[in-house]
Amino acid sequence: MSDFELEPLIEKPVDERGSFYRRPAWVEVDLDAIRNNVRVVRREIGDGVMVMAVVKADGYGHGALPVARAAVEAGADWLGVALTEEGIELRKDGVDAPVLILAEPPPSAAAQIIEYDLSATVCSYEFIEALDKEAARRGKVARLHLKIDTGMNRTGVPASSAIDLVKAVQMLPNTRLEGMFTHFAKAEDPASDLTDLQMDRFEGVLSLLPKEIDPIIHAANSAATFLSPRTHLDMVRVGISLYGLHPSPATFGRIDIQPALSLKARASFIKELAPGEGVSYGHTRLTEKPTTIITIPMGYGDGYTRRFSNIADVLIGGRRCRIIGNVCMDQFMVEGGQDEYFPEDEIVLIGRQGDERITADELADLLGTINYEIVCMINKRVPRIYLNK
């Protein structure tokens, strides 16, 4: 490596204060929190039910590979991804736990699915046939999970034609129906009867299965895992709560999951402004009194959205400081009042500092979205530090 080359992703600080070769901005992921959350799920579901840890979208922004390893260490039986490429990445990094691609890939992905020993969601005969042919060519057996659409109306085989597809799979010599599953549309709402209706439809399909097959039956997402014991079946699929974020207000105070992710930075510039000065593009806010302006080296190019402009807070010295002006691509500014600040002060964008805390839920509420989106937005331009490896 020359004097001018940098590592593409730095997983640990280069000094004890958390400074980086690049900008002083980073994500911390506590892998002990991931392990704790798997154990919480295990206590909830009891013996005899498997756990799938869903690590799609780069582990919801936390880092798929470290999260997958920590989850398996803590007792997760399966891993779930959305894309064939995500499954391949796990395999190339030495993860040998069963991996299910949770959405049906195109038939052109069949060769890679068989090569990397991945289980595939299937919804169509065309894809099943492609997997059978590729498995035959390689002398292997394709493992399939048939997805039943019971009311989500996104993807899946209609309940009315599911058994016909099961029989078609039985006729192909190089495929095995490893699992069957459905996906809930409103499991986070305990007042809704839709989850029970979807379960009724799903169980209606299962009652028609030929006796000679015994697939893994799964339905529960994070919300259903904690709010609907009926849905546990053979395996639960845990996504958002794996990361310590609640799938529903109904689970607050009910389960002891721990947020795994913190987003932090240090100031790149500090200056004093008089009253009436504009800050950032468009001068959407003017200072109202003499104040300290702290520039933070992170912006919408990192996934810290421009929609946080003038409405979101950060924590410095255990107190809240409001963003002033528009969030830029690589930087944004906060107003610190007349307190004294230093470049080495740690700034918390998501996480706890002293008695104060900024959560992904708080930021989601500002945007009218969900906590899932907040953590998934933080892209790979922001280095990750993994605690408690």
DSSP element (H, E) containing 80: strand 78-81
The answer to whether residues 289 and 321 touch, using CB atoms and an 8 Å cutoff, is no
The answer to whether residues 274 and 357 touch, using CB atoms and an 8 Å cutoff, is no
Domain 261-387 CATH assignment equals 2.70.150.10: no
* Residue 304 annotated as catalytic: no
Amino acid at 320: R
Strands 50-54 and 235-238: parallel
**226, 221, 218, 220: which is closest to 249 by C-alpha?**
226
The answer to whether residues 272 and 290 touch, using CB atoms and an 8 Å cutoff, is yes
| 225-248 average pLDDT score | 98
Q: How far is CA 220 from the centre of its chain?
A: 16
Q: What is the pLDDT of residue 4?
A: 34
The answer to whether residues 27 and 66 touch, using CB atoms and an 8 Å cutoff, is no
The answer to whether residues 371 and 13 touch, using CB atoms and an 8 Å cutoff, is no
* Residue 116 annotated as catalytic: no
Q: What is the pLDDT of residue 22?
A: 61
User: Does the structure show a pLDDT above 50 at 45?
Assistant: yes
Amino acid at 344: E
* 3-state SS, residue 313: strand
Indicate the average pLDDT of the chain.
Answer: 94
| 67-92 average pLDDT score | 98
Q: What is the pLDDT of residue 172?
A: 97
Q: Which two tokens stand for residue 99?
A: 């991996």
**50, 373, 58: which is closest to 219 by C-alpha?**
50
Q: Which two tokens stand for residue 46?
A: 């009891």
Q: What is the pLDDT of residue 21?
A: 52
CATH 3.20.20.10 in the chain, residue ranges: 48-246
Would you place residue 282 in the very low, low, confident or very high pLDDT band (cuts 50, 70, 90)? very high
CATH 2.40.37.10 in the chain, residue ranges: 261-387
Q: What is the pLDDT of residue 295?
A: 98
Pick the catalytic residue from 56, 133, 147, 264: 56
| 111-140 average pLDDT score | 98
Dihedral of CA 261/370/148/43: which sign?
positive
| Residue, of 97 and 4, whose pLDDT is higher | 97
| 55-68 average pLDDT score | 98
Domain at 48-246, CATH class:
alpha beta
The answer to whether residues 364 and 374 touch, using CB atoms and an 8 Å cutoff, is yes
Q: Which tens digit of pLDDT belongs to each residue from 316-330?
A: 999 999 999 999 999
**Distance between CA atoms of 358 and 366, rounded to whole angstroms?**
12
Strands 216-220 and 175-181: parallel
DSSP element (H, E) containing 265: strand 261-266
Any alpha helices (H) in the chain, and if so which ranges? Answer: 31-45, 56-60, 64-73, 84-92, 110-115, 125-138, 162-171, 194-206, 222-227, 360-367, 371-377
Question: Whose structure tokens read 């065309």?
Answer: 126
User: Does the structure show a pLDDT above 90 at 169?
Assistant: yes
Q: Which tens digit of pLDDT belongs to each residue from 179-229?
A: 999 999 999 999 999 999 999 999 999 999 999 999 999 999 999 999 999
Q: CA-CA distances (angstroms) from residue 318 to 54, 142, 291, 366?
A: 33, 54, 18, 21
**Distance between CA atoms of 323 and 329, rounded to whole angstroms?**
14
Pick the catalytic residue from 12, 167, 281, 389: 281
